[in-house]
Amino acid sequence: VSMAQFNDKMYMADADGPLYYYDGDIATRQSGKVRAITVTSGGSGYTSATAIVSGPDWNGSLPTLITQVAGGVVTGVTVVDGGSGYAGTPTVTIIGDGNGATATATVSPPPLNLRLLINTGNRLFGVGSSSNRNTLYCSDILDASIWDSANSAVINADDGDEITAIVPYYENRIMVFKKRRIFQVTIPPDMTSAADWTIQLISNNTGCVAEGSAVQVNSDIFFLSDDGIRSLVRSAADDFTSIGLPISEVIKDVIQQINVAEIGISTAHFYDNRYFLAVPTESNDFNDTIIVYNTVLGAFEGTWTPNVMQFALSNFQDEGLRLMMKSTTGQIQKYSGYKTPAQVTTADYQDAGVDYQSYVRTKDFNFGDPFASKYGSHFEVVFDDSFSTDATISIQRDVDVGDIDVQPNLNISSAVLTLPFSLPAQLPSSVKKRIASDLRTYEKWRLLNIKITSAANKMAIRQITAAANPDTIEVQKSL
């Protein structure tokens, strides 16, 4: 279901039927109204006349009309109020003391089977389905009951590629994504029809494969393509010369785990300077992994495991904007990243009251030489303010089948003193803990990575360093 807030209502479309809206009380089908009455024959002999429109289809209201007569002829019908509840064109009957006058009504109800919705420029925009899967429609200004057929355009005709996402952008622009192409549609505020729109091809070889993954990120748009997470600004720039790498190239091992058959259910949101992308991996048909990209650091912060099928922002009472996540179990979870380190408690590091394991694994250390074997020297981990009392440090060399626990069951919790506090009070020496371990007892290796795991609670890592000595002289051997 695609949803967009417009005129204090939440509009909903599911690609299989009419457009609905929710007003906080009940979900109602969005109908059309009578926009105009056109006199096709003025008749004769009239001193007064009344135009009557047949009743609405869905429990709506009749329009209010004023019928004009001059010289015995019906000259026009003015629509004062278009009424509501019309699904199609009603019949117009003109009664009075003359005869022969006829007229027709104009009604422009919402298109059926819309599947994508956005609100921008004081209009609702939607994308059709099936044979209209590449048609972009728009409503009248501040009026979702009028969708003039002239206010629609087919984006790049039927090129064998369908629209997968639409995202509002700056300066009256809408970015239209297909699976292999990106278009920019510029819509003037004073448009009278889609003939005023400007449609421009942005990329002819990169597109979006999941509707929910395309979101505005500051002045950019991030989206999931068939080769990873991409940036619109970067993709557009790359197309002038060559195809650049996706921003997720550094985590391509994670991207390669995405279930391509179910990639369309991926969804994303931008909040707290982070792009959250929930994806299905392996053979799962639900989003089991969240990839987190920090736009301030310009780096990925890891993967999370809540099974999130939808993100939404809430703005209740004085809490302000908060990111909410709907899980596969129907639970609504709240992202607590808005809290400062001084505000968090152990309860903030649980999911619905249940502890969860977290870990950090480094990339492989090759110490500047990917070929030579190394004799390990030592490694050091510096923990920042943490709550965990059960952490384990492990290593894995290229010659190992699995992880080797080097320092298990560590208490890395820190004593802190937060203002205000009552005297007497003892100041802690430090909230940081430095833990080092010897690597000289292990056989030679080429690559080494370090993993730190916490069974529960907060684990904050400030730094991980390692040292080794390369064995530059090695006897020739068969591989």
* pLDDT tens column, 136-176: 999 999 999 999 999 999 999 878 889 999 999 988 899 99
The pTM of the full predicted model, rounded to 2 decimals, is 0.81
The answer to whether 63 touches 56, Cβ cutoff 8 Å, is: no
- Is 212 a residue whose pLDDT tops 90? yes
358-471 has the same fold as 116-354 = no
Q: Phi/psi of residue 232, each to 5°? A: -60, -45
Give whole-number Cα distances, 343 to 294, 323, 335, 457, in Å. 21, 18, 14, 15
The answer to whether 267 touches 210, Cβ cutoff 8 Å, is: yes
Any idea which architecture 116-354 has in CATH?
7 Propeller (2.130)
Largest separation between any pair of C-alpha atoms in the chain: 115
The mean pLDDT value for 396-417 works out to 88
Residue 170 CA to residue 155 CA, distance in Å, equals 19
What is the predicted pLDDT for the residue at 306?
86
Pick among 1.10.10.10, 2.60.120.260, 2.40.340.10, 3.40.980.10: CATH of 358-471: 2.60.120.260
The mean pLDDT value for 291-314 works out to 91
Domain boundaries, the chain: 31-107, 116-354, 358-471
Distance of CA 250 to the CA centre of its chain: 21
83 closest CA partner among 10, 12, 27, 145:
145
Residue 212 CA to residue 110 CA, distance in Å, equals 23
Average pLDDT, the chain: 90
* pLDDT tens column, 90-147: 999 999 999 999 999 999 999 999 999 999 999 999 999 999 999 999 999 999 999 9
- Is 241 a residue whose pLDDT tops 50? no
Residue 448 CA to residue 446 CA, distance in Å, equals 7
- Is 430 a residue whose pLDDT tops 90? no
Residue 118 CA to residue 287 CA, distance in Å, equals 23
443 closest CA partner among 380, 381, 399, 388:
399
Mind giving me the DSSP string for 436-449? EEE-TTSPPBS-EE
- Is 418 a residue whose pLDDT tops 90? no
